[in-house]
């Protein structure tokens, strides 16, 4: 039983013994830094049963707890706030209990099947900065949910069909001259993206020419020859035209290979990948079922829709008049297929906040159709990423490419590390690995430390800073710990057997503070899992590294005169290093052993 639970149980007991009151639980919170204490009980809710002043009530409960909870060293009362000080013995016993063990203790009651969807790229262009936030967020949430005790299925749905794919295909046919990734030395996804931009350039020229002839804008956009050609190509694709399908498979193959390289560099993976070309017709059976139940309606033109106006939404078309499906149709079918395949308890869609309305509609329709598992659907809506120069664009070919961004981050890490002398004692291969670890760590941390719901400004230069709330600062403190421990081992200091030295340890205030942070590690993971927020982990790890940095600066470790204190501080440093490494791994970030 943890100390919070013990205090809660004893407070429930105190209220019954002192005032004859019955409550289920009492909640303690972290003590305000302005007060002395570790945990605080707000007693105002109990004044009705105590019929006494806040200070008197707090003192009576405090005295009862002090007499019945051995771990309490003292307490103080500030108005209606009962501040509890937990004694050193408890923290030293906790310190012994974590020696050589993982800080993670998954809660069995949270052992659910959770599917997390992220990435969801189009095969007409490479991944960009927006995809980077999506992938990092989805992957990290998956790792955090696993750490919290859930069975997680990481999934990706690739948008590999549709009019946008045909644009790249037609442009390659017209202007590609047989170019391949091998012949030009370009990654496949970049090559296909090049022809997507090429299509748009020629298409705009055609529209401009038609408008110059007096044709209205909307009509010019529809009647441009290239638009008519890609519409015809899409029809052929849906009719399984051999030539079109062969071209589609070849170019998508280039893209998949390129995506795999980007995913590997970014450090994300998937347990299952779905393809829109296989799922886009799945929802039609659901439409028939919805019509039979009267949940869905058919218009005079034969299109099918869900009337969501009573719920404050609109009429959502699910099948066009010609019987073809829309994105929502596919999403309905894919959700049902996944529910049947996995029996998930929760399904998290990691998608930008521009799709908030889409997911409101999707979840509502599934609930109206009577699927109980629809209650477990959740849209992890995140804000857009911008650079100091302004918002990203895609069709003009000025997108912030993910591959180029990662290479730039590694190059910046190299420049910064060399200027600070961080890699001067390393072999060349180790140097290159260090630059990669610092650069990619900086990128990931800078993005993940921001609450997912918030729009964010990504500043590459600011992210690679060895001071402040950055990955390089955290990584440097981990390296500092590893160097300290290596030096201790070289000096034949064995700090593994805690029982040898712990009896002679009196905690410094900073040491107690660090132990409390370690004690809160698992609670922090559970909080991050409940909120689907890697930012909770990121900021915890930063706070831990910052506190340790101050401790390391102010407190003698190897130069301490008492050997027992040296051994204690070495083991404490080791535990903090393990917490930093574990926390960073939940963000998908590596920590170097040396720099």
pLDDT of residue 393: 47
Q: pLDDT for 269-296, tens place per residue?
A: 999 999 999 888 888 889 999 999 999 9
Nearest to 119, CA basis, from 156, 165, 145: 156
- Cα dihedral 252, 258, 262, 267 sign: positive
Q: Which residues pair with 28 in a beta bridge?
A: 41
Q: According to the model, what pLDDT value does residue 484 have?
A: 96
For the chain, give the mean pLDDT: 92
pLDDT band at 91 (very low <50, low <70, confident <90, very high): very high
Alpha-carbon distances, residue 452 vs 8, 198, 536, 591 (angstroms): 33, 34, 10, 23
Tens of pLDDT, residue by residue over 147-205, are 999 999 999 999 999 899 999 999 999 999 999 999 999 999 999 999 999 999 999 99
Q: Where are the beta strands (DSSP E) in 101-209?
A: 113-117, 151-158
Maximum distance among all Cα pairs of the chain, rounded to whole angstroms: 92
| Beta pairing, strands 39-42 & 456-457 | unpaired
Instruction: State the pTM of this model.
Output: 0.92
What secondary structure does DSSP assign to 342-356, as a single string? Answer: H--SEEEEEEEGGGH
Q: Over the stretch 393-411, which tens digit does the pLDDT of each residue have?
A: 444 445 689 999 999 999 9
Residue with tokens 């002043």: 53
Angle separating helix axes 129-147 and 242-266, nearest 10 degrees: 60
Does the pLDDT value for residue 104 go beyond 90? no
* Across 561-589, average pLDDT: 95
Identify the helix (H) or strand (E) that includes residue 379. Answer: strand 377-382
Between 37-46, 83-92, 168-177, 389-398, the lowest mean confidence (pLDDT) is in: 389-398
Half-sphere exposure of residue 359: CA atoms within 13 angstroms, side-chain side: 18
d(CA 188, CA 200): 19
CA distance 439 to 418: 13
2.60.210.10, 3.30.1360.70, 3.40.30.10, 1.10.10.10: CATH of 3-86: 3.30.1360.70
In whole angstroms, what is the distance from residue 288 CA to residue 80 CA? 61
User: What letter would DSSP give residue 22?
Assistant: -
Q: Is 101 exposed, middle or buried (0-12, 13-18, 19+ CB in 10 A)?
A: exposed
Q: How far is CA 509 from CA 87, 197, 561, in A?
A: 12, 61, 19
Domain 402-586 architecture: Orthogonal Bundle (1.10)
Domain ranges of the chain: 3-86, 163-274, 402-586
304, containing H or E segment: strand 304-307
Residue 392 pLDDT exceeds 50: no
274 token code pair: 């779905």
From residue 155, alpha-carbon distances to 146, 221, 243, 459 in Å are 14, 36, 31, 29
As a whole number, mean pLDDT of residues 37-65 equals 95
CA dihedral 531, 537, 542, 543 (to 10 degrees): 70
Give the pLDDT confidence of 299-327 residue by residue, as tens digits. 999 999 999 999 999 999 999 888 888 88
pLDDT at 371: 96
């Amino acid at each position: 039983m943890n100390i919070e639970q013990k205090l809660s149980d004893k407070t429930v007991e105190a209220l019954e013994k002192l005032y004859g009151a019955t409550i289920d639980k009492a909640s303690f919170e972290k003590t305000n830094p302005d007060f002395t204490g570790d945990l605080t009980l707000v007693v105002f809710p109990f004044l009705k049963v105590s019929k006494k002043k806040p200070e008197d009530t707090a003192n009576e409960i405090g005295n009862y707890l002090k007499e019945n909870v051995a771990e309490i060293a003292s307490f103080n009362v500030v108005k209606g706030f009962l501040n509890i000080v937990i004694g050193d013995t408890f923290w030293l016993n906790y310190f012994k209990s974590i020696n050589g063990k993982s800080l993670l203790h998954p809660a069995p009651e949270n052992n659910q099947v959770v599917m997390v969807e992220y990435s969801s790229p189009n095969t007409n262009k490479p991944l960009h900065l927006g995809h980077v936030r999506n992938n990092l967020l989805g992957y990290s949430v998956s790792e955090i949910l696993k750490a919290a005790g859930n069975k997680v299925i990481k999934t990706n749905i690739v948008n590999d069909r549709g009019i946008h794919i045909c644009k790249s295909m037609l442009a390659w046919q017209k202007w590609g001259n047989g170019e391949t990734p091998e012949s030009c030395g370009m990654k496949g996804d970049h090559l296909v993206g090049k022809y997507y931009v090429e299509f748009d350039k020629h298409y705009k020229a055609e529209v401009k020419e038609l408008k110059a002839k007096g044709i209205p804008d909307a009509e010019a956009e529809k009647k441009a020859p290239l638009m008519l050609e890609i519409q015809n190509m899409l029809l052929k694709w849906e009719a399984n035209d051999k030539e079109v399908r062969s071209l589609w498979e070849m170019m998508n193959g280039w893209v998949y290979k390129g995506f795999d390289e980007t995913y590997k560099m970014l450090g994300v993976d998937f347990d299952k990948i779905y393809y829109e070309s296989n799922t886009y017709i799945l929802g039609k059976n659901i439409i028939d079922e919805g019509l039979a139940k009267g949940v869905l309606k058919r218009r005079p033109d034969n299109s099918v829709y869900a009337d969501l106006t009573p719920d404050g939404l609109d009429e959502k078309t699910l099948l066009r008049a010609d019987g073809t499906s829309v994105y929502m149709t596919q999403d309905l079918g894919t959700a049902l297929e996944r529910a049947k395949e996995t029996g998930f308890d929760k399904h998290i869609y990691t998608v930008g906040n521009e799709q908030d309305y889409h997911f409101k509609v999707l979840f509502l329709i599934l609930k109206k159709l009577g699927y109980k598992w629809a209650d477990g659907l959740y849209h992890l809506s995140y804000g857009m990423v911008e650079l100091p120069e302004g918002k990203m664009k895609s069709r003009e070919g000025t997108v912030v490419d993910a591959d180029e961004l990662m290479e730039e981050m590694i190059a910046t890490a190299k420049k910064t590390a060399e200027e600070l002398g961080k890699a001067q004692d390393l072999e060349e291969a180790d140097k290159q690995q260090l630059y990669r670890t610092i650069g990619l760590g900086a990128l990931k941390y800078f993005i993940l430390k921001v609450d997912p719901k918030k729009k964010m400004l990504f500043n590459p230069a600011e992210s690679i800073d060895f001071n402040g709330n950055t990955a390089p600062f955290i990584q440097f403190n981990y390296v500092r710990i590893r160097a300290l421990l290596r030096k201790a081992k070289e000096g034949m200091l064995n700090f593994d057997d805690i029982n040898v030295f712990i009896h002679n340890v009196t905690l410094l205030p900073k040491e107690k503070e660090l132990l409390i942070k370690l004690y809160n590690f698992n609670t922090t993971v559970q909080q991050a899992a409940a909120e689907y927020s890697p930012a909770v982990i990121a900021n915890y790890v930063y706070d831990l590294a910052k506190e340790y940095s101050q401790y390391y600066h102010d407190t003698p470790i190897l130069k301490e005169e008492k050997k027992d204190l040296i051994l204690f501080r070495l083991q404490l440093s080791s535990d903090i290093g393990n917490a930093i490494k574990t926390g960073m791994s939940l963000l998908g970030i590596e920590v170097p052993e040396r720099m």
